[in-house]
Structure 1
């Protein structure tokens, strides 16, 4: 009888505590370059946490990620997630490419698809 109780306790403990993934490549703070005109920089923050269960949490463009998934497949580490501006959803996909990330965001209600690049945010000194 002790084994089932221990197994249930372990299951409850691991299911209520999100575990960080062993895939840190996309984890962390990013600066996304959304510039559409040369010489006019326009960046927004993206914070990603890839969890061991395959989910993604964080924020993009100061909007909380509502639903997200990540996967390593075919030699690439990518994530997809949904955010909102309060009017409609934004669907974003991002892949790690060397030391930077490349992605695209689609907003059907705004009738646009935007390709973008991102670099790691500078680390701040403690």
Structure 2
């Protein structure tokens, strides 16, 4: 019976080796005023072991974790500008991603939205 249950659970588990809906390249809207677009790229890879790799705002993700729970797929990670850490959290919301970034050393918390970038479109630059 235990072997059957273990096999059933294994077969029911999602295939994390495949890409999750949050994997890929995103265009993050960091605009602070209407009609003044300012975007930066975010590239996420959600690994089967629960870690996150990639980059955000042209900075490599130094540490990150992801989880699917309570009907949401979310990731949190840390990047740096060389002066201090930036802590980012992002959740998939339909076809978009919503998130926030906190930089204590810069005294700001920024809420943002992101849309998936087409595979053929180059990443935005500063």
- Could you say which TM-score interval applies, normalised by the shorter chain? 0.7 to 0.9
Structure 1 length as normaliser, TM-score?
A: 0.81
Choose which of 97, 110, 113 in structure 2 pairs with 1:114: 110
Unaligned runs of 5+ in 1: 1-19
Aligned residues: 107
Alpha-carbon distance between aligned partners in 2 of 1:64 and 1:45, rounded to the nearest angstrom: 11
Shift of 1:21: 4.1
- TM-score normalised by L of structure 2: 0.81
1:67-86, aligned counterparts within 5 Å?
67-86=63-82
Q: CA RMSD in A?
A: 1.6
1:80 alignment partner, SS class: strand
Distance of 1:89 and 1:119 partners within structure 2: 24
What is the match of residue 91 of structure 1?
Answer: 87
Give 1:24 deviation, angstroms: 1.2
